[in-house]
Amino acid sequence: MTQDGLRVAWLGHKSAGVGDGIITYSRELTDGLRRRGVEVAFFHHGEAVDPKDLTPQEADASVALEAFPVSPQRWVITSPRSRRRLIDWLKRNRVDVVHVSYSFGLLDFELPRVCGQLGLPLVGTFHAPFDTRLTMWGGLSRTLYRLYATPLSGCDAVIIFGETQRGLLERIGVPAPKIHVIPNGVDTDKYSPGPGGKREPGIRRVLYMGRIDPEKNVEQLLLAFLAAAPADGVRLEIMGGGADRRRLERRYRDRRIHFLGTVTDEQERIDWLRSSDVFVLPSSIEGLSLAMLEAMACGVCTVATDVGTDGDALRGAGIVLDPNALQGELTAALRLLFDVPELTEVLGRAARQRADERYSLQRNIDAVLRLYHEVASGRRVTDL
């Protein structure tokens, strides 16, 4: 099904070959929209991407905006020249919807006013992770949510990932009718069970895939893995980079533990997922992890903490851990899966079914398109 005549200005994140969730969201959604016949002009910060890394359609509609970094966490200040370039482009070109993938940078706080003055509907996807517990991470996430209360309230529609997140936004004053639950989607044709290119006879794998930063609790996973007393034929593969990587790599030298570094090639990441028996995400704070959904779609037995909306997505189709008792529960879960390997197959099938039924990219794009058309026409929008 195509959506003839729809044109979208998308403000998001681009990096060729990188698996960061917020980058993947922009790439997968814009690619999917283009396949439906939507014309997408993609504005992103940073240097222009090499044309050979882009499809012909992307090369015609990928606009890099000069920006000055504020922090390693993607906070940037758009240069005055690029800010003016964006506004002039929006004035000159007919678009039906402006869609911003928050956080885009300090420009986030100007967009509702700019779009309001130009008469353009503004849709925002709010990716910010959160934790409802009384923890340091919970306090930081509540502060960030309060900071975004005004720009989110200025959007015509706000896309979030679950009902718990809806409650947080309503409590900080974002009008309830503007909030729409449209969970992340994963391409379940591309991310699917199959023969993994990393398989080795007699080897069973536990995989972590993501940033190696304090809030991801990778050290707790390493400790739980060793405490579960895995046999020689069990491997823990840690994929990704981050602030804690070098320290952990030096400290945990064990023949059963491998640090893979950052893997930028998507097919190689799929091969690692398909070659793994268990996927673990032990984070203290999340939104809705695309890495977790990708593992589920590949039919991998999935273990994750009950933070953000990850627990809601996984519950009944995997093992959900209490983040307040992470070390003990994670050790027990790994020991159970090592002792009863048949359980990994059962949970892997359940994870695949859950991803296919509730978290497919096709379902996500259907809902986003419906939202675009309804905000553009001023009709009341209902949730997915």
> Cα–Cα distance between 382 and 253 in angstroms, integer?
52
Alpha-carbon radius of gyration of the chain: 21
Judge contact between 71 and 63, C-beta under 8 A.
no
Where do we find the tokens 């639950």? 181
pLDDT (0 to 100) of residue 24:
87
Kind of pairing between the strands at 76-78 and 67-69: antiparallel
Q: Where in the chain is CATH 3.40.50.2000?
A: 7-185+360-377, 204-358
Give me the CATH code for the 204-358 domain, please: 3.40.50.2000
As a whole number of Å, the end-to-end CA separation of the chain is: 18
Single out the residue of 15, 55, 7 nearest to residue 31, CA to CA. Answer: 55
pLDDT tens sequence across 98-157? 999 998 777 889 999 999 999 999 999 998 888 887 788 788 888 999 999 999 999 999
Judge contact between 228 and 236, C-beta under 8 A.
no
Residue 236 dihedral angles phi and psi, to the nearest 5°: -110, 115
Helical H segments across 12-135, by residue range: 21-35, 56-61, 80-92, 111-118
**How many alpha carbons lie under 13 Å from residue 8 in its C-beta half-sphere?**
32
Where do we find the tokens 């896309």? 159
pLDDT (0 to 100) of residue 364:
95
- Please give the CATH topology (third level) of the domain spanning 7-185+360-377: Rossmann fold (3.40.50)
Single out the residue of 279, 280, 289, 277 nearest to residue 342, CA to CA. Answer: 277
Beta partners for 234?
A: 204
pLDDT (0 to 100) of residue 1:
42
pLDDT (0 to 100) of residue 48:
47
Query: Quick one: tokens of 225?
Result: 């893995």
pLDDT (0 to 100) of residue 149:
95
Ranges of residues in the chain whose predicted pLDDT is under 50: 1-3, 17-18, 48-52, 54-60, 381-384
On the 0-12 / 13-18 / 19+ scale of CB atoms within 10 A, 288 is: buried
> Cα–Cα distance between 33 and 136 in angstroms, integer?
38
pLDDT (0 to 100) of residue 95:
93
